[in-house]
Structure 1
Protein backbone atom coordinates (compact mmCIF):
# COMPACT_ATOMS: atom_id res chain seq x y z
CA UNK A 1 0.00 0.00 0.00
CA UNK A 2 1.30 3.48 -0.89
CA UNK A 3 -0.82 5.44 1.56
CA UNK A 4 0.86 7.36 4.39
CA UNK A 5 -0.34 7.92 7.92
CA UNK A 6 -3.00 10.57 8.31
CA UNK A 7 -1.46 13.87 9.54
CA UNK A 8 -1.89 14.39 13.27
CA UNK A 9 -1.18 18.13 13.29
CA UNK A 10 -4.46 20.09 12.97
CA UNK A 11 -2.56 22.92 11.29
CA UNK A 12 -1.20 20.75 8.46
CA UNK A 13 -2.74 19.34 5.31
CA UNK A 14 -1.23 16.37 3.47
CA UNK A 15 -1.82 16.19 -0.27
CA UNK A 16 -1.30 13.17 -2.50
CA UNK A 17 -0.68 14.63 -5.96
CA UNK A 18 -1.17 12.31 -8.93
CA UNK A 19 -0.42 13.13 -12.53
CA UNK A 20 -3.11 11.74 -14.85
CA UNK A 21 -2.58 8.37 -16.51
CA UNK A 22 -1.11 7.98 -19.97
CA UNK A 23 -2.89 9.43 -23.03
CA UNK A 24 -2.28 8.80 -26.74
CA UNK A 25 -0.63 12.21 -26.94
CA UNK A 26 1.78 11.34 -24.12
CA UNK A 27 2.89 8.38 -26.20
CA UNK A 28 3.34 10.66 -29.23
CA UNK A 29 5.27 13.32 -27.24
CA UNK A 30 2.51 15.80 -28.11
CA UNK A 31 1.73 18.90 -26.02
CA UNK A 32 -1.77 18.76 -24.56
CA UNK A 33 -2.13 21.83 -22.37
CA UNK A 34 -5.82 22.73 -22.11
CA UNK A 35 -6.86 20.44 -24.97
CA UNK A 36 -9.13 17.69 -23.69
CA UNK A 37 -7.43 14.38 -24.49
CA UNK A 38 -8.75 11.18 -22.80
CA UNK A 39 -6.69 8.32 -21.40
CA UNK A 40 -5.54 5.45 -23.56
CA UNK A 41 -5.74 1.80 -22.46
CA UNK A 42 -2.47 2.05 -20.55
CA UNK A 43 -3.77 5.14 -18.78
CA UNK A 44 -6.94 3.40 -17.63
CA UNK A 45 -4.86 0.49 -16.31
CA UNK A 46 -2.64 2.94 -14.44
CA UNK A 47 -5.69 4.67 -12.94
CA UNK A 48 -6.98 1.36 -11.59
CA UNK A 49 -3.54 0.51 -10.18
CA UNK A 50 -3.34 3.88 -8.46
CA UNK A 51 -6.77 3.36 -6.95
CA UNK A 52 -5.73 -0.04 -5.57
CA UNK A 53 -2.62 1.49 -4.03
CA UNK A 54 -4.69 4.08 -2.17
CA UNK A 55 -7.31 1.70 -0.75
CA UNK A 56 -7.53 2.01 2.99
CA UNK A 57 -6.15 5.53 2.99
CA UNK A 58 -7.98 8.19 4.96
CA UNK A 59 -8.84 10.93 2.48
CA UNK A 60 -11.21 13.77 3.27
CA UNK A 61 -11.76 14.73 -0.37
CA UNK A 62 -10.69 14.19 -3.97
CA UNK A 63 -10.06 17.09 -6.32
CA UNK A 64 -9.10 16.95 -9.98
CA UNK A 65 -8.49 19.12 -12.98
CA UNK A 66 -11.69 19.40 -14.99
CA UNK A 67 -10.01 17.93 -18.09
CA UNK A 68 -11.09 14.41 -19.05
CA UNK A 69 -7.71 12.71 -18.57
CA UNK A 70 -7.56 13.85 -14.94
CA UNK A 71 -11.19 13.03 -14.19
CA UNK A 72 -10.80 9.55 -15.72
CA UNK A 73 -7.71 8.95 -13.57
CA UNK A 74 -9.49 10.09 -10.42
CA UNK A 75 -12.63 8.01 -11.04
CA UNK A 76 -11.38 4.60 -9.81
CA UNK A 77 -9.94 6.11 -6.63
CA UNK A 78 -13.15 8.02 -5.98
CA UNK A 79 -15.12 4.78 -6.44
CA UNK A 80 -12.89 2.79 -4.08
CA UNK A 81 -12.68 5.52 -1.43
CA UNK A 82 -16.39 6.33 -1.55
CA UNK A 83 -15.81 9.98 -2.40
CA UNK A 84 -17.02 12.26 -5.18
CA UNK A 85 -14.37 13.89 -7.36
CA UNK A 86 -14.59 17.68 -7.26
CA UNK A 87 -13.41 19.17 -10.59
CA UNK A 88 -11.49 22.44 -10.74
CA UNK A 89 -10.31 24.43 -13.76
CA UNK A 90 -7.65 25.98 -11.50
CA UNK A 91 -5.86 22.60 -11.50
CA UNK A 92 -5.52 22.47 -15.29
CA UNK A 93 -2.21 22.08 -17.08
CA UNK A 94 -0.33 25.16 -18.25
CA UNK A 95 -1.88 26.68 -21.38
CA UNK A 96 0.68 26.20 -24.16
CA UNK A 97 -0.97 28.50 -26.69
CA UNK A 98 0.00 27.77 -30.30
CA UNK A 99 2.14 24.82 -29.13
CA UNK A 100 -0.97 22.86 -28.11
CA UNK A 101 -1.49 19.84 -30.35
CA UNK A 102 2.10 19.85 -31.63
CA UNK A 103 4.78 17.32 -30.80
CA UNK A 104 7.91 18.70 -29.20
CA UNK A 105 9.77 18.13 -32.46
CA UNK A 106 7.08 19.95 -34.46
CA UNK A 107 7.11 22.88 -32.04
CA UNK A 108 10.90 23.14 -32.29
CA UNK A 109 10.80 23.05 -36.09
CA UNK A 110 7.89 25.45 -36.64
CA UNK A 111 8.57 27.94 -33.84
CA UNK A 112 12.30 27.72 -33.07
CA UNK A 113 12.60 31.02 -31.20
CA UNK A 114 9.58 30.39 -29.00
CA UNK A 115 10.66 26.80 -28.42
CA UNK A 116 14.13 27.92 -27.30
CA UNK A 117 12.55 30.27 -24.75
CA UNK A 118 10.27 27.46 -23.59
CA UNK A 119 13.19 25.06 -23.13
CA UNK A 120 15.18 27.77 -21.33
CA UNK A 121 12.30 28.09 -18.84
CA UNK A 122 12.03 31.87 -19.26
CA UNK A 123 9.61 32.69 -16.46
CA UNK A 124 7.98 35.65 -18.21
CA UNK A 125 7.64 34.05 -21.66
CA UNK A 126 3.97 33.51 -22.54
CA UNK A 127 3.09 31.30 -25.48
CA UNK A 128 1.43 33.19 -28.35
CA UNK A 129 -2.28 32.63 -28.92
CA UNK A 130 -3.44 32.74 -25.33
CA UNK A 131 -0.72 30.73 -23.61
CA UNK A 132 0.47 31.25 -20.04
CA UNK A 133 3.86 32.35 -18.84
CA UNK A 134 5.61 30.05 -16.38
CA UNK A 135 5.42 32.78 -13.74
CA UNK A 136 1.65 33.23 -14.15
CA UNK A 137 1.14 29.48 -14.18
CA UNK A 138 3.10 29.13 -10.93
CA UNK A 139 0.98 31.82 -9.26
CA UNK A 140 -2.21 30.02 -10.36
CA UNK A 141 -1.07 26.64 -9.03
CA UNK A 142 0.30 28.01 -5.76
CA UNK A 143 -3.02 29.75 -5.10
CA UNK A 144 -5.09 26.69 -6.06
CA UNK A 145 -3.15 24.28 -3.85
CA UNK A 146 -3.03 26.68 -0.90
CA UNK A 147 -6.78 27.18 -1.12
CA UNK A 148 -7.37 23.43 -0.97
CA UNK A 149 -4.90 23.01 1.88
CA UNK A 150 -6.56 25.73 3.96
CA UNK A 151 -9.91 24.01 3.49
CA UNK A 152 -8.48 20.72 4.79
CA UNK A 153 -6.09 21.53 7.63
CA UNK A 154 -5.69 18.44 9.79
CA UNK A 155 -6.78 16.23 6.88
CA UNK A 156 -5.41 14.37 3.88
CA UNK A 157 -6.67 14.91 0.33
CA UNK A 158 -6.07 13.48 -3.13
CA UNK A 159 -5.44 15.83 -6.07
CA UNK A 160 -5.31 14.45 -9.63
CA UNK A 161 -3.80 16.87 -12.09
CA UNK A 162 -1.07 17.34 -14.71
CA UNK A 163 2.69 17.17 -15.16
CA UNK A 164 3.22 20.91 -15.23
CA UNK A 165 1.26 21.29 -12.02
CA UNK A 166 3.47 18.72 -10.32
CA UNK A 167 6.55 20.56 -11.55
CA UNK A 168 5.35 23.74 -9.82
CA UNK A 169 4.30 21.88 -6.66
CA UNK A 170 7.72 20.26 -6.27
CA UNK A 171 9.44 23.62 -6.75
CA UNK A 172 7.21 25.24 -4.12
CA UNK A 173 8.34 22.63 -1.61
CA UNK A 174 11.98 22.27 -2.66
CA UNK A 175 12.56 26.00 -3.34
CA UNK A 176 13.98 25.14 -6.77
CA UNK A 177 13.70 28.27 -8.96
CA UNK A 178 11.31 28.22 -11.91
CA UNK A 179 14.20 28.74 -14.33
CA UNK A 180 16.29 25.84 -13.00
CA UNK A 181 16.34 22.56 -14.97
CA UNK A 182 14.12 19.87 -13.52
CA UNK A 183 16.02 17.24 -11.53
CA UNK A 184 13.07 15.12 -10.32
CA UNK A 185 10.67 12.72 -12.10
CA UNK A 186 7.10 13.49 -13.12
CA UNK A 187 5.50 10.18 -13.98
CA UNK A 188 2.03 9.26 -15.20
CA UNK A 189 -0.07 7.98 -12.26
CA UNK A 190 2.76 8.00 -9.69
CA UNK A 191 2.10 9.19 -6.13
CA UNK A 192 3.66 12.42 -4.91
CA UNK A 193 3.13 13.54 -1.31
CA UNK A 194 3.35 17.12 -0.03
CA UNK A 195 2.42 18.64 3.30
CA UNK A 196 1.27 22.20 3.82
CA UNK A 197 2.05 23.85 7.15
CA UNK A 198 -0.65 26.39 7.90
CA UNK A 199 1.47 28.02 10.58
CA UNK A 200 4.38 28.61 8.20
CA UNK A 201 2.90 28.86 5.76
CA UNK A 202 5.17 26.51 3.85
CA UNK A 203 5.19 23.40 1.67
CA UNK A 204 7.21 20.29 2.58
CA UNK A 205 8.09 17.24 0.48
CA UNK A 206 7.05 13.97 2.11
CA UNK A 207 7.61 11.47 -0.74
CA UNK A 208 7.94 11.83 -4.49
CA UNK A 209 7.55 9.66 -7.58
CA UNK A 210 6.24 6.55 -5.82
CA UNK A 211 5.60 4.10 -8.65
CA UNK A 212 5.89 0.59 -7.26
CA UNK A 213 2.17 0.07 -8.04
CA UNK A 214 2.79 0.68 -11.76
CA UNK A 215 4.11 -1.67 -14.42
CA UNK A 216 5.49 1.34 -16.31
CA UNK A 217 5.06 5.10 -16.46
CA UNK A 218 6.16 7.86 -18.81
CA UNK A 219 7.93 10.94 -17.55
CA UNK A 220 6.77 14.42 -18.45
CA UNK A 221 8.77 15.51 -21.51
CA UNK A 222 10.94 17.40 -21.91
CA UNK A 223 12.54 18.72 -18.69
CA UNK A 224 10.87 22.07 -19.17
Structure 2
Protein backbone atom coordinates (compact mmCIF):
# COMPACT_ATOMS: atom_id res chain seq x y z
CA UNK A 1 0.00 0.00 0.00
CA UNK A 2 1.09 3.57 -0.64
CA UNK A 3 0.38 6.92 0.93
CA UNK A 4 -1.96 9.18 -1.02
CA UNK A 5 -2.76 12.88 -0.93
CA UNK A 6 -6.02 14.40 -2.18
CA UNK A 7 -5.51 18.09 -3.00
CA UNK A 8 -8.97 19.68 -2.73
CA UNK A 9 -9.60 23.22 -3.88
CA UNK A 10 -12.14 25.24 -1.87
CA UNK A 11 -15.69 25.94 -3.01
CA UNK A 12 -16.88 29.01 -4.85
CA UNK A 13 -16.81 32.51 -3.34
CA UNK A 14 -18.37 35.75 -4.53
CA UNK A 15 -14.89 36.99 -5.46
CA UNK A 16 -14.45 33.92 -7.69
CA UNK A 17 -17.64 34.86 -9.52
CA UNK A 18 -16.46 38.47 -9.84
CA UNK A 19 -12.99 37.34 -10.98
CA UNK A 20 -11.28 39.16 -8.12
CA UNK A 21 -7.84 38.17 -6.88
CA UNK A 22 -8.36 36.75 -3.38
CA UNK A 23 -4.87 35.79 -2.23
CA UNK A 24 -4.61 36.07 1.55
CA UNK A 25 -7.94 37.95 1.81
CA UNK A 26 -10.29 35.88 3.97
CA UNK A 27 -13.38 35.56 1.77
CA UNK A 28 -16.15 33.11 2.77
CA UNK A 29 -17.85 30.50 0.61
CA UNK A 30 -21.02 31.69 -1.07
CA UNK A 31 -24.18 29.55 -1.19
CA UNK A 32 -22.98 27.70 -4.28
CA UNK A 33 -19.60 27.09 -2.66
CA UNK A 34 -21.25 25.58 0.41
CA UNK A 35 -23.21 23.19 -1.82
CA UNK A 36 -20.05 22.30 -3.73
CA UNK A 37 -18.25 21.53 -0.47
CA UNK A 38 -21.09 19.25 0.65
CA UNK A 39 -21.05 17.42 -2.68
CA UNK A 40 -17.27 16.98 -2.66
CA UNK A 41 -17.44 15.72 0.92
CA UNK A 42 -20.00 13.07 -0.03
CA UNK A 43 -17.72 11.82 -2.82
CA UNK A 44 -14.43 11.95 -0.93
CA UNK A 45 -15.87 10.30 2.18
CA UNK A 46 -15.86 6.99 0.29
CA UNK A 47 -12.05 7.16 0.15
CA UNK A 48 -11.96 6.96 3.97
CA UNK A 49 -9.42 9.69 4.64
CA UNK A 50 -7.03 9.22 7.55
CA UNK A 51 -6.29 12.90 8.08
CA UNK A 52 -7.65 16.28 6.93
CA UNK A 53 -5.71 19.55 6.96
CA UNK A 54 -6.63 22.93 5.53
CA UNK A 55 -5.41 26.42 4.88
CA UNK A 56 -6.20 28.88 7.66
CA UNK A 57 -8.45 30.90 5.32
CA UNK A 58 -12.14 30.25 5.90
CA UNK A 59 -13.05 29.34 2.32
CA UNK A 60 -10.68 26.36 2.50
CA UNK A 61 -11.32 25.55 6.15
CA UNK A 62 -15.09 25.46 5.71
CA UNK A 63 -14.64 23.18 2.68
CA UNK A 64 -12.52 20.85 4.82
CA UNK A 65 -14.99 20.97 7.73
CA UNK A 66 -17.78 19.68 5.48
CA UNK A 67 -15.74 16.52 4.91
CA UNK A 68 -14.56 16.32 8.50
CA UNK A 69 -18.11 16.32 9.83
CA UNK A 70 -19.10 13.55 7.43
CA UNK A 71 -16.23 11.20 8.24
CA UNK A 72 -15.80 12.10 11.91
CA UNK A 73 -12.33 13.63 11.66
CA UNK A 74 -11.00 16.86 13.10
CA UNK A 75 -9.51 19.34 10.64
CA UNK A 76 -5.98 20.53 11.32
CA UNK A 77 -4.99 24.00 10.11
CA UNK A 78 -1.70 24.96 8.47
CA UNK A 79 -1.13 28.49 7.18
CA UNK A 80 1.48 27.13 4.75
CA UNK A 81 -1.47 25.96 2.62
CA UNK A 82 -2.63 29.57 2.11
CA UNK A 83 -3.17 30.93 -1.38
CA UNK A 84 -0.45 32.88 -3.13
CA UNK A 85 -0.26 36.39 -1.72
CA UNK A 86 -1.30 39.02 -4.27
CA UNK A 87 -0.20 42.23 -2.60
CA UNK A 88 -1.89 45.24 -4.22
CA UNK A 89 -3.80 42.96 -6.59
CA UNK A 90 -6.00 41.49 -3.87
CA UNK A 91 -9.62 42.55 -4.26
CA UNK A 92 -9.11 43.73 -7.84
CA UNK A 93 -10.64 42.14 -10.93
CA UNK A 94 -8.52 40.75 -13.73
CA UNK A 95 -9.56 43.65 -15.96
CA UNK A 96 -8.44 46.15 -13.32
CA UNK A 97 -5.11 44.38 -12.91
CA UNK A 98 -4.52 44.26 -16.67
CA UNK A 99 -5.29 47.97 -17.02
CA UNK A 100 -3.00 49.11 -14.18
CA UNK A 101 -0.14 46.61 -14.55
CA UNK A 102 -0.14 45.40 -18.19
CA UNK A 103 3.37 43.93 -18.16
CA UNK A 104 3.01 42.32 -14.75
CA UNK A 105 -0.39 40.94 -15.78
CA UNK A 106 1.14 39.07 -18.72
CA UNK A 107 3.75 37.55 -16.40
CA UNK A 108 1.12 37.15 -13.64
CA UNK A 109 3.56 38.56 -11.10
CA UNK A 110 2.16 41.16 -8.70
CA UNK A 111 4.89 43.77 -8.00
CA UNK A 112 4.64 43.23 -4.24
CA UNK A 113 3.12 39.75 -4.35
CA UNK A 114 4.48 36.33 -3.50
CA UNK A 115 6.79 34.74 -6.10
CA UNK A 116 5.54 31.47 -7.57
CA UNK A 117 8.73 29.68 -6.53
CA UNK A 118 8.16 30.66 -2.89
CA UNK A 119 4.56 29.42 -3.03
CA UNK A 120 5.59 26.13 -4.62
CA UNK A 121 8.30 25.56 -2.02
CA UNK A 122 6.14 26.28 1.05
CA UNK A 123 3.16 24.24 -0.16
CA UNK A 124 5.24 21.23 -1.23
CA UNK A 125 7.15 21.32 2.05
CA UNK A 126 3.85 21.32 3.97
CA UNK A 127 2.58 18.42 1.83
CA UNK A 128 5.68 16.38 2.67
CA UNK A 129 5.46 17.31 6.34
CA UNK A 130 1.85 16.15 6.71
CA UNK A 131 2.30 13.08 4.52
CA UNK A 132 5.12 11.97 6.80
CA UNK A 133 2.52 11.56 9.57
CA UNK A 134 0.49 9.05 7.57
CA UNK A 135 0.58 5.30 7.90
CA UNK A 136 1.85 3.50 4.81
CA UNK A 137 -1.69 3.09 3.47
CA UNK A 138 -2.99 6.44 4.74
CA UNK A 139 -4.86 9.09 2.80
CA UNK A 140 -4.41 12.81 3.52
CA UNK A 141 -6.92 15.39 2.29
CA UNK A 142 -5.55 18.92 1.92
CA UNK A 143 -8.13 21.69 1.44
CA UNK A 144 -6.37 24.67 -0.10
CA UNK A 145 -6.44 27.02 -3.08
CA UNK A 146 -6.09 26.91 -6.86
CA UNK A 147 -2.68 28.46 -7.44
CA UNK A 148 -1.20 27.14 -4.19
CA UNK A 149 -2.18 23.56 -4.95
CA UNK A 150 -1.12 23.60 -8.60
CA UNK A 151 2.28 25.06 -7.74
CA UNK A 152 2.78 22.74 -4.77
CA UNK A 153 1.93 19.70 -6.89
CA UNK A 154 4.44 20.75 -9.56
CA UNK A 155 7.16 21.14 -6.94
CA UNK A 156 6.29 17.85 -5.21
CA UNK A 157 6.49 16.03 -8.56
CA UNK A 158 9.89 17.55 -9.22
CA UNK A 159 8.86 19.32 -12.42
CA UNK A 160 11.22 22.05 -13.61
CA UNK A 161 9.69 25.52 -13.43
CA UNK A 162 9.49 25.88 -17.19
CA UNK A 163 7.06 22.92 -17.26
CA UNK A 164 4.74 24.18 -14.51
CA UNK A 165 2.29 25.71 -17.04
CA UNK A 166 1.73 22.20 -18.43
CA UNK A 167 -0.45 21.44 -15.39
CA UNK A 168 -3.82 23.14 -15.69
CA UNK A 169 -5.79 24.83 -12.94
CA UNK A 170 -8.30 23.39 -10.49
CA UNK A 171 -12.02 24.15 -10.50
CA UNK A 172 -13.88 24.97 -7.30
CA UNK A 173 -14.15 21.83 -5.16
CA UNK A 174 -12.23 19.78 -7.70
CA UNK A 175 -9.27 17.74 -6.58
CA UNK A 176 -6.06 16.04 -7.62
CA UNK A 177 -4.74 12.74 -6.26
CA UNK A 178 -1.06 12.07 -5.60
CA UNK A 179 0.46 8.72 -4.67
CA UNK A 180 3.86 8.03 -3.17
CA UNK A 181 5.91 5.51 -5.11
CA UNK A 182 9.39 4.07 -4.87
CA UNK A 183 10.80 6.96 -6.92
CA UNK A 184 8.76 9.76 -5.36
CA UNK A 185 5.30 11.16 -5.81
CA UNK A 186 3.20 10.72 -8.95
CA UNK A 187 -0.04 12.30 -10.14
CA UNK A 188 -2.94 9.85 -10.43
CA UNK A 189 -5.78 12.30 -11.13
CA UNK A 190 -5.97 16.02 -11.80
CA UNK A 191 -8.96 18.40 -11.59
CA UNK A 192 -11.30 15.49 -10.88
CA UNK A 193 -14.79 15.74 -9.47
CA UNK A 194 -16.53 18.20 -11.77
CA UNK A 195 -17.60 18.46 -15.36
CA UNK A 196 -15.28 20.74 -17.37
CA UNK A 197 -16.32 24.26 -16.47
CA UNK A 198 -14.53 27.61 -16.67
CA UNK A 199 -12.07 27.97 -13.80
CA UNK A 200 -12.13 31.13 -11.71
CA UNK A 201 -9.00 31.26 -9.58
CA UNK A 202 -6.07 33.38 -8.46
CA UNK A 203 -3.94 31.20 -10.70
CA UNK A 204 -2.35 32.61 -13.85
CA UNK A 205 -4.80 33.18 -16.73
CA UNK A 206 -3.28 30.53 -19.01
CA UNK A 207 -3.89 27.89 -16.32
CA UNK A 208 -7.62 28.53 -16.53
CA UNK A 209 -8.40 27.94 -20.18
In the superposition, the TM-score normalised over structure 2's length comes to 0.87
Deviation sequence 1:66-99 (CA, Å, 0-9, x none): 0010011111100001001111100001111111
- Pair 1:149 & 2:134 matched: no
Return 161-170 or 26-35, whichever deviates more: 161-170
Q: Is the Cα–Cα contact under 8 Å of residues 17 and 200 in structure 2 kept in the other structure?
A: no
2:43 is matched with 53
Q: Among 81, 85, 110, which residue is 2:71 paired with?
A: 81
Structure 2: gaps spanning 5 or more residues: none
1:172-191 pair list within 5 angstroms: 172=155, 175-180=158-163, 181-191=165-175
The answer to whether 1:132 aligns with 2:111 is no
The partner residue of 1:205 within 165, 168, 187 is 187
2:18 aligned partner: 28
Output the TM-score relative to the length of structure 1: 0.82
Q: State how many pairs are aligned.
A: 203
Say which of 167, 180, 186 aligns to 1:196.
180
What RMSD in Å do the two structures reach over aligned CA positions? 2.2
Matched, 1:167 2:157: no
Once the two structures are TM-superposed, the CA of residue 150 in structure 1 deviates from its matched residue by 1.2
Change in 2 beyond 3 A, CA 1:216/1:51: farther
Instruction: Tell me the CA shift for residue 13 of structure 1.
Output: 1.9
For residues 100-121 of structure 1, give each alpha carbon's deviation from its aligned partner in whole angstroms, at most 9, with x where no partner exists: 1111111111122322332xxx
1:147 and 1:206 map into 2 onto residues whose CA distance is 20
Equivalent pair of 1:17/1:193 in contact (CA under 8 Å):
yes
Change (3 A) 1:216 1:75: farther
**8 A Cα contact 2:54 2:61, kept in partner:** yes
Q: Which of the pair is proportionally richer in helix?
A: 2
